[in-house]
Structure 1
Amino acid sequence: MDKARNLFDIVRGQLWLLPLIFSCLAAILAILLITYGHLVAPNVVREAWWLYSGEAETARQLLSSLLSGLMTMTSLVISVPFVILTLAANQLGLRLISHFMADRQIQAVLGLFIGTILYLILVLRTIADTLGKDGVPHLAISAGNLLTVVCLMALLFYIHKVARLIIADNMVQALHANLVGTVKEVLPSKPDEHGEEVARFAGLGRPIALQKVGHVQVIDYSLLTEIAAEEDLRIDVAVRAGQYLLANGDHFTIFADKTVTNETIAALRNCFTVGLQNTTAQDLEFSIRQLTEIAVRALSPGVNDPFTAVAVVGRLAATFEEVQRRPLPYRQHYDGQGVLRLIVSRSDYRRLLDTGFRLIRQAGASEPLVLMRLAARLADLGHSVRDEVQVEALVAQLSALEETAAQCHSIEQDRASMQAHLDEARGVLETARSRQRAAVT
């Protein structure tokens, strides 16, 4: 399932996918209308005002003009937005271009333009000056006119879409929606029912390197468990999705009472998908970093936009509130007989918080507004914690924030406001800590 989702994410990010599909559909439509369009009765062509009823020479001139105009328009549709996006990426990061390329509506508009061009070319090449009036593919030419009008309407939508895309708040909201979706897919809905966690398997194991260089995109834990059960193995997986690997290293360790064959090791290695870039299939930290990057760029001296950073902090806090409702990914995997087969590495709540807030805190160390919003959001998260581990992770973030605020050079009024927010957050977290400890006892 995760491998399929990873492949879907990669394919979805390809700008050529929908244009290719639209081009194929346009070619099929052109062939059908050219081949069977003559079945429309001549009297229908004369009576239907919306059908082209001219001669072959006029039809060639019309289609040539439409084709020339569409090709010019398509070149502008492709080139001008990329110039705009390149400039906007200085503020929002290169993720903006990736988001643009993966947008289905953008792909559909480009596909409509390219498909219409291909359609006009195919229809135009069938019209010869020697054709009689009844031999002209009236229906195909009329469809070309209609497609051109649709392209004009799509151009207006395209301009609107690109204009909204480069607005920081819209970009932040789109990434937040994707992030929440990733949280719901990556984190389980129910806690592990197998009891206490085991730190590692006993005994000496055989460390194995994946012999691949790149980012871990997907680990097929189900297949690893299945192979381990078949071969009576226990496996300690030291890597997790999102890590960058070198060819050599102790990437996973096999514990077995017998010699493990090279074929089995090769099968285990195939359970790890390593690629050139991170994906969101299993890597929650990568999705969080996409939002964090916007905030860090917004706080850079060249941009100096703390309001965008504040918006990102709010979206991250909403995401962490969703994370608090769910258990973390299972660290232990059992076979059908209830035998522990895998112990895996995973991200914990503290690491996720650090991924989201640490760089923003560092970049906003001289911005009282950002520091106060961070404190306020930590206090908000303190109201929805579910265990003491989450409380301690929030307390660690607050302690780092207090140290940062102490070094912030600002006027007395700003320092007083920051201290008030920090004290409020500290009080909320201390109350949450006491409540969780009381619940345990």
Structure 2
Amino acid sequence: MRSMPLWLTPMVYMATSVAAGTILPRLEQAYLGAYTHHMSVGAALAFFSAVSSGMIALTGIVFAIAFVTVQFSAVAYSPRLVIMFVNNPALYHTLGIFFATFTYSLVALAWTDRGGSGIVPLFSTMLVVVLLVVSMLAFSLLIRSLDILQIHNVLRVIGAQGRAVIRAMFPRIADNASAGGQDETETAVALGAQTQTLSYSGEPRVIARFDIDALVRLAQGAGAVVVIECGVGETLVEDTMLLRVHGAAQSLPERALMRAVHLSTSRTFEQDPKYAIRLLVDIAIRALSPAVNDPTTAVQALDQIEDLLRRLGRRRLDTGRARDAGGALRLIFPTPTWQDYLALSFDEIRQFGATSVQVMRRLRSVLVGLSEAVATEARREAVRRYIDHLNLSVGRSAFDDQDQVVALEEDRQGLGLSRKRRDA
């Protein structure tokens, strides 16, 4: 079931407050009139007026905080990080609490001295006080959450998203298979004659995820194999070939096929571990730009990238196939190879960081660690080839002879603790 859009969250709080304001004061007047307190009518009116007007001011402050957060994340880190901060549920719940406090304060104001009775509703007053205290706590927690803007927290959050996707998508390679000399291979299968194609039509959209179970059921019902031509994270434009159906006894319903391919206006972390790496690389290369010149941030991004690649290196990446309960192949979809992950993780950082000894040392440390940590010999060999490529890049760089010697050393801190020396 689809979750409620975050922008509706404050509306739910406000609707609940309006409902409570419609029912509770009437119940209080009808059944709880004997419960009173000694607050004067004038003091109560001043209190409710102050609370309601103060909530509007706080709402403006929260909006300003959200605007600054979005602007800062776009400029300092990456425009693609904006959605992560904008979709922070704490922001919307805080706004909702403010809306509820504002609305119920107006209700309590309207029921005070109603009809010239001189009565201040006791329980409504207590509820306004409780809402005011909760609003202050929510505001404090929201301010505290701005700590996420620190670079190490931003990198940690992105890394956590990537680790969650890796755990969900890729099974671990068995220990007894870790010494194997071959990496994942795709065996040829007879797909049968092509019986149906499906192209995308509409505005550009990004593939967020595939409903693999639904696609397998559709293919199984027709005795077919569905071959998806586009991977998660790719943008579909008009007439893009989305999938092909092979060996079907009958045509598969196109609407059902399209419903199984979830589209979004931007990339998401769902079924896309590349996206976490992409964001980390974006932060690193922005930090390495001449306008910023902050190689230490690039080194911190490499810390998270190394962790993600070590996890990927111990897991099966040949998950682009799905079978039905009987073991028959029903779905094929494109997935990145180990070489794809290496190129995504390091190519741009190596190119933009070619003038930074610190980045070269940390990058070498990442690669040497990966060559020892990954599960298969094929992957280790791919990492060793990348180390040779890094050596070539350092040899062709503008570093003098002494800087080249320093750049060819391993250092997990970039510049801080030399380890083993590698010959160019």
User: What TM-score, normalized by structure 2, do the two folds share?
Assistant: 0.85
Q: CA deviation at 1:225?
A: 1.9
Instruction: Encode CA deviations 1:48-102: one digit per residue, 9 max, x unaligned.
Output: xxxxx32434322321122112211210221244135413431112344322222
Instruction: Encode CA deviations 1:409-431: one digit per residue, 9 max, x unaligned.
Output: 2344331112233995979xxxx
Quick one: distance in 1 between partners of 2:323 and 2:133?
A: 59
How many residues align? The count is: 405
What is the one-letter code of the residue matched to 1:23?
M
Decide whether the 8 Å contact of 2:225 with 2:248 is kept in 1. no
2:372 aligned to which of 383, 387, 392: 383
2:71 aligned to which of 86, 90, 105: 86
Calculate the aligned-residue CA RMSD, in Å.
2.9
What is the one-letter code of the residue matched to 1:380?
G
Quick one: distance in 1 between partners of 2:226 and 2:141?
A: 53
Whether 2:164 is the aligned partner of 1:175: answer no
Quick one: distance in 2 between partners of 1:84 and 1:165?
A: 10
Whether 2:142 is the aligned partner of 1:158: answer yes
Q: CA deviation at 1:316?
A: 1.0
Quick one: distance in 1 between partners of 2:255 and 2:18?
A: 44
Instruction: Encode CA deviations 1:222-245: one digit per residue, 9 max, x unaligned.
Output: 222222222121232222211112
Quick one: distance in 2 between partners of 1:202 and 1:80?
A: 55
1:370 aligned to which of 359, 381, 403: 359
Secondary structure, aligned partner of 2:327: coil
Q: CA deviation at 1:255?
A: 2.0
Q: Which residue of 1 aligns with 2:7?
A: 16
1:269–1:109: structure 2 CA closer, same or farther, 3 Å change rule?
Answer: closer
Q: CA deviation at 1:340?
A: 2.2
1:325–1:157: structure 2 CA closer, same or farther, 3 Å change rule?
Answer: same
Instruction: Encode CA deviations 1:148-174: one digit per residue, 9 max, x unaligned.
Output: 233233333322222x12211111111
1:420–1:117: structure 2 CA closer, same or farther, 3 Å change rule?
Answer: same
Quick one: distance in 2 between partners of 1:29 and 1:227?
A: 47
5 Å-filtered alignment, 1:36-435, equals 36-38=27-29, 39-40=31-32, 42=34, 45-46=36-37, 53-128=38-113, 130-134=115-119, 136-162=120-146, 164-189=147-172, 197-201=186-190, 204-206=193-195, 208-212=197-201, 213-256=204-247, 260-261=250-251, 264-328=253-317, 330-421=319-410
What is the one-letter code of the residue matched to 1:310?
V
Decide whether the 8 Å contact of 1:201 with 1:236 is kept in 2. no
Instruction: Encode CA deviations 1:85-132: one digit per residue, 9 max, x unaligned.
Output: 413431112344322222233333222222211222232233356332
Quick one: distance in 1 between partners of 2:378 and 2:11?
A: 50
Q: Percent identity?
A: 23
Higher helix share: 1
Q: CA deviation at 1:294?
A: 1.3
1:56–1:229: structure 2 CA closer, same or farther, 3 Å change rule?
Answer: same
Quick one: distance in 2 between partners of 1:264 and 1:66?
A: 57
Quick one: distance in 2 between partners of 1:425 and 1:133?
A: 86
